[in-house]
Amino acid sequence: MREKVIQGLRECLKNEQYDGNGCENCPYDSDQALCRERLYKDAIELLDKSTTKVIIEKEEAEWNNCEYCHHHLIHKWDWCPYCGRSILW
């Protein structure tokens, strides 16, 4: 799905910036109102999946851990360096 969204966004951008022929290679249908709506929904779904919450796990001390991959996090980080998801503090 990620590749489909990227290609759809690139084709929509071509369509808006240039001659309006960007829909030819679009992986979504060419009905602009409906295909853009599906493209935007897919993009939002991908972005929602790419974030993670911080969970606190207690061992001998408390640690901030990524909810997705459970690696330790440092508060100044915006992204988990282990799984690449953005962090919601």
Whether 20 has a pLDDT exceeding 60, the answer reads no
Percent of the chain with pLDDT over 90: 0
**56-81 pLDDT, tens per residue?**
766 666 788 898 888 888 888 888 99
Q: Model pTM? A: 0.51
Q: CA 19 → CA 14, 33, 40, 62, distances in Å?
A: 8, 18, 22, 57
Residue 87 pLDDT exceeds 80: yes
Chain Cα centroid distance, residue 45: 7
Is pLDDT above 70 for 19? no
Model confidence at 53, pLDDT cuts 50, 70, 90, reads confident
